[in-house]
Amino acid sequence: NPADELREDVSVLKGGEKNRATGLEQQTTKALASDHTLQHKHGTLSLVNGGESVEFKVAGISDIAFEVDGLVRNSKELLLNSVKWTPKDEDVRQLCDTAVRLCRVLKNPSDYETVPESALAELDGLTDVVPVLSGFSFAPSVKLLAKSKNVTCAHTDGNGYAADQ
């Protein structure tokens, strides 16, 4: 049946897109942890949840409150990585909103749960959230908006990913 074949083809394409997106999230998050510019600015950095995404839920409620693409930490700061192929102005605003939500988690961790469960303990003692927007191609207007909102941009530099200085 052609309709069934089409549905199957679409399903395969969606699965491939999700795998590419997950790979990009992990690749950029791991790159942030080893980026010299970020290490100079924030000190020694380490991955939260091995660089994989983390889901946040309000304690006792099964629905996901929000999800982050990747997290990197030092002794007091949490770098929040949001990954887009080609970031847009709206992505900067959404990242800032997510950073505010993540600050609430840091202030009141007992009000939240994470998937995986162990990720919440990795946030213990952190007080500040540093938003980072990662992607391949940034329009100048996006970089300007990001800078005005204290969002660090990380992008390909020919050798991998690098944060703007």
| pLDDT of 17 | 43
Contact 162, 37 (CB under 8 A): yes
Distances in Å between the alpha carbon of 25 and those of 53, 124, 161?
A: 8, 23, 12
| pLDDT of 16 | 43
DSSP 116: S
| pLDDT of 6 | 60
| pLDDT of 156 | 73
| pLDDT of 149 | 97
| pLDDT of 24 | 81
Question: Which tokens go with 56?
Answer: 């946040």
Indicate the pTM of the whole model.
0.85
| pLDDT of 121 | 97
Q: What residues are paired with 46 via a beta bridge?
A: 73
- Please identify every stretch of the chain with a pLDDT value under 50, giving residue numbers as ranges: 12-21
| pLDDT of 160 | 62
Q: DSSP string of 40-103?
A: HHH-S-EEEGGG--EEEEETT--S--EEESEEEE-SSEEEEEEE-SS--HHHHHHHHHHHHHHH
Q: What's the longest Cα–Cα distance across the chain?
A: 59
Contact 48, 123 (CB under 8 A): yes
